[in-house]
Amino acid sequence: MKKLEGKIAVITGGSSGIGLATAKRFVEEGAHVVITGRREKELKEAAAFITRNVTTVVGNVSRLEDLDRLYAVVKEKHGHIDILFANAGAGTVAPLAVATEAHFDQTFDVNVKGLFFTVQKALPLFNDGGSIILNSSVSNVLGLPGFSAYAASKAAVRNFARAWTLELKDRKIRVNVMSPGAIDTPALATTTGLTAEQAEQAVAQFTTQIPMGRRGMPEEIAAAVAFLASDESSYITGMDLAVDGGMAQV
Amino acid sequence: MTRLNGKTAVITGGATGIGLAAAKRFIAEGAFVFIFGRRQEALDAAMAELGPNARAVKGSVADEADLDRLYAAAKAERGTLDIVFANAGVGSQLKLGEITAKHIDETFDTNVKGTIFTVQKALPLMGKGGSVILTGSSAGTTGAPGFTAYSASKAAVRNLARTWAEDLKGTGIRVNVLSPGATATELAKEALGEEGQKAYGAMTPLQRMADPAEIAAAAAFLASSDSSFMTASEVAVDGGLAQL
């Protein structure tokens, strides 16, 4: 059965990792997806990987004019939105003692402000009865050295879902949080600022903390996001779904 | 939709309500299901609805000998088990000041001890790819008048999954908690009446009680490989009741 037949879904940060795997899964479930990302080349490659029912819009969620352009494209192409996966995020490593203002601002601009306006600007196009999924992280309840700004920004995201569940209840729009644990994506190596050796050490350390004894695959997060996006989760709202191999649960 | 093709599931408290809805859903997704319950009449009625891919075993999760019979039946016919939905539970209300030892014992015998032995006795039949689902409750994280024993027992159930994720490390068996909120089972509808159902529904952001099929859909997600990276997690299917 196709759980998302004919649905229109927007996915920010859709060109790699969790966002890309989710876009592919949504299309397999029958949806049309509009994906955004900052780099045109990667977006084009993502669209080729997804193969069909995909539209790309280059943009940065922390820039409001980019979001306006995104939703203008969605409006023109589809007229409405059923599902929003606000997934774009940033997280560089910076210990408290040496973190710069730029590091703090960049983290909160993308993860908090960017996500806030990603949702706000989607609302006029949203169908009543739709589903919004906010990508947080199990770091929203964990302490990880060097990740304080990131973890705090993800805790903010978790809490957005609480107020928005109430604000959007009359429109029957459900709002839930996805909290992945350590996932095998390119982000750890490419965006955190870690060297290859440091990234490898981080993976080894994560793995010892995960009851399932391994990192997750982006496709495993995508399967859970598809659940939250579909009517299969019709009585679930305001919830934080941890998909972390047990990392933050025990 | 055949995510559970060829799988064998045990569902305790499977003759009515959430358990029965899950049995229907699992079978619709391709599974073979053993339902376990205390009342023969309810089991018979359920079997009439479930069709050829179901078996019924009469018994109580609070009785170890009954559980042994359940798993002997599953082993004899299917050999192995893939899914255990430890769903049987009881809950009556007594306010602090009126609580009796018998009330505590009855609640914990079924909800906690019964859940522990339901899972422990299933393990010899389970292996890699197995999924254990424990029925918690939104009461496990909230307070409500008269729910001392029930709430505490469901908080205990939620915590069982934490230890078991560690105890089951390396086995490939996952264990998660499914925590329903106010659910409009036949029993609840009868007990609450129209007004009561409205009042319970009004407490949730979704402004209604759950249909048992909605809880069953989440159980199917946890039973299937769609939740393959989840263990020790809690999925609250409560219309937002305990999430805000």
Mean per-residue pLDDT over chain A, rounded = 95
> What tens digit of pLDDT does each residue of A146-192 get?
999 999 999 999 999 999 999 999 999 999 999 999 999 887 777 77
Who among B170, B205, B218 is closest to A165 (CB)? Answer: B205
The tokens describing B200, both together, are 């319970």
pLDDT value at position B196? 95
**Separation of alpha carbons A57 and A19, rounded Å:** 14
Question: Quick one: average pLDDT of A191-202?
Answer: 82
**Separation of alpha carbons B123 and B101, rounded Å:** 31
CB < 8 Å from A in window 211-240 of B: 211, 214-215, 217-218, 220-221, 225-240
**Separation of alpha carbons A249 and B162, rounded Å:** 6
User: B71 catalytic, yes or no?
Assistant: no
CB-CB neighbors (< 8 A) of B206 in chain A? 169, 172, 174, 235, 237
Task: Give the CA diameter of chain A.
Answer: 52
Chain A residues with at least one Cβ partner in B under 8 Å: 1, 161-162, 165-166, 169, 172, 174, 181, 211-213, 216-217, 220-221, 223-224, 226-227, 231-246, 249-250
Residue A1 confidence (pLDDT) above 70:
no
Handedness of CA B61, B121, B154, B134 (dihedral sign): negative
DSSP assigned state of B35: E
Catalytic residues of A: 150
Residue with tokens 């029965």: B20
CB-CB neighbors (< 8 A) of A217 in chain B? 229
Could you tell me the pTM of the whole model? 0.96
| Partners of A241 in beta bridges | A178
Whether residue A231 contacts residue A9, with contact meaning beta carbons closer than 8 Å, is answered with: no
The tokens describing B237, both together, are 């299917």
The tokens describing A142, both together, are 């964990």
**Separation of alpha carbons B143 and B93, rounded Å:** 12
Distance from CA of B174 to the nearest CA of A (A): 8
**Separation of alpha carbons A224 and A222, rounded Å:** 5
Q: Is A155 exposed, middle or buried (0-12, 13-18, 19+ CB in 10 A)?
A: middle
Non-local (6+) Cβ contacts of A97 within 8 A are none
Contact yes or no for A240 and B243 at CB 8 A: yes
CB < 8 Å from A in window 42-61 of B: none
What are the backbone angles phi and psi of residue A93, rounded to the nearest 5°? -85, 130
Whether residue A160 contacts residue A116, with contact meaning beta carbons closer than 8 Å, is answered with: yes
Tell how strand A32-37 and strand A8-11 pair up: parallel
CB-CB neighbors (< 8 A) of A246 in chain B? 165-166, 231-233
Contact yes or no for B229 and A232 at CB 8 A: no
Percent of chain A with pLDDT over 90: 88
DSSP assigned state of B238: S
Whether residue B59 contacts residue B41, with contact meaning beta carbons closer than 8 Å, is answered with: no
Catalytic residue among B7, B24, B150, B200: B150
> What tens digit of pLDDT does each residue of A55-67 get?
999 999 999 999 9
Distance from CA of B158 to the nearest CA of A (A): 10
> What tens digit of pLDDT does each residue of B37-88 get?
999 999 999 999 999 999 999 999 999 999 999 999 999 999 999 999 999 9
When scoring A140, A230, A235 by the number of chain B Cβ atoms within 10 A, the one with the most, hence best to mutate, is A235
Contact yes or no for B169 and A241 at CB 8 A: no
Give the closest residue to A233 by CA, choosing from B175, B206, B228, B136.
B206
- Is residue B167 classed as helix, strand or coil in its secondary structure? helix
Q: What is the DSSP string of chain A?
A: --TTTT-EEEESS-SSHHHHHHHHHHHHTT-EEEEEES-HHHHHHHHHHH-SSEEEEE--TT-HHHHHHHHHHHHHHTS-EEEEEE---------TTT--HHHHHHHHIIIIIIHHHHHHHHGGGEEEEEEEEEE--GGGS---TT-HHHHHHHHHHHHHHHHHHHHTGGGT-EEEEEEE-SB--THHHHTS---HHHHHHHHHHHHHT-TTSSPBPHHHHHHHHHHHHSGGGTT--S-EEEESTTTTT-
**Separation of alpha carbons B11 and B84, rounded Å:** 6
Give the closest residue to A29 by CA, choosing from B3, B24, B83.
B3
Distance from CA of B23 to the nearest CA of A (A): 16
pLDDT value at position A197? 86
DSSP assigned state of B1: -
CB-CB neighbors (< 8 A) of A165 in chain B? 205, 240, 243-244
* pLDDT level of residue A204 (50, 70, 90 thresholds): confident
Whether residue B232 contacts residue A230, with contact meaning beta carbons closer than 8 Å, is answered with: no
Dihedral-angle region of residue A46 (phi above 0 means left; psi in -120 to 50 means alpha; beta otherwise): alpha
Who among A165, A181, A250 is closest to B244 (CB)? Answer: A165
pLDDT value at position A240? 98
**How many angstroms from the chain centroid is the CA of residue A65?**
20
Show the low-confidence residues of chain B (pLDDT under 70): 1
Q: What distances in angstroms separate CA B5 from CA B27, B70, B176, B214, one per listed residue?
A: 9, 22, 21, 21
The tokens describing B70, both together, are 């359940």
Give the closest residue to B71 by CA, choosing from B25, B203, B192, B63.
B63
Who among B162, B174, B243 is closest to A238 (CB)? Answer: B243
Question: Quick one: average pLDDT of A13-26?
Answer: 97
CB-CB neighbors (< 8 A) of B178 in chain A? none
User: B150 catalytic, yes or no?
Assistant: yes
pLDDT value at position A200? 86
Whether residue A186 contacts residue A175, with contact meaning beta carbons closer than 8 Å, is answered with: no
Whether residue B143 contacts residue B120, with contact meaning beta carbons closer than 8 Å, is answered with: no
Q: Nearest residue on chain A to B212, judged by CA atoms?
A: A235
CB-CB neighbors (< 8 A) of A237 in chain B? 205-206, 239-240, 243
The tokens describing A228, both together, are 């939250």
CB-CB neighbors (< 8 A) of A231 in chain B? 217
Distance from CA of B102 to the nearest CA of A (A): 32
Question: Quick one: average pLDDT of A80-105?
Answer: 96
SS3 per residue for B76-144:
HHHCCCCEEEECCCCCCCECCCCCCHHHHHHHHHHHHHHHHHHHHHHHHHCCCCCEEEEECCHHHCCCC
For residue A197, count other CB atoms closer than 10 A to its CB. 8
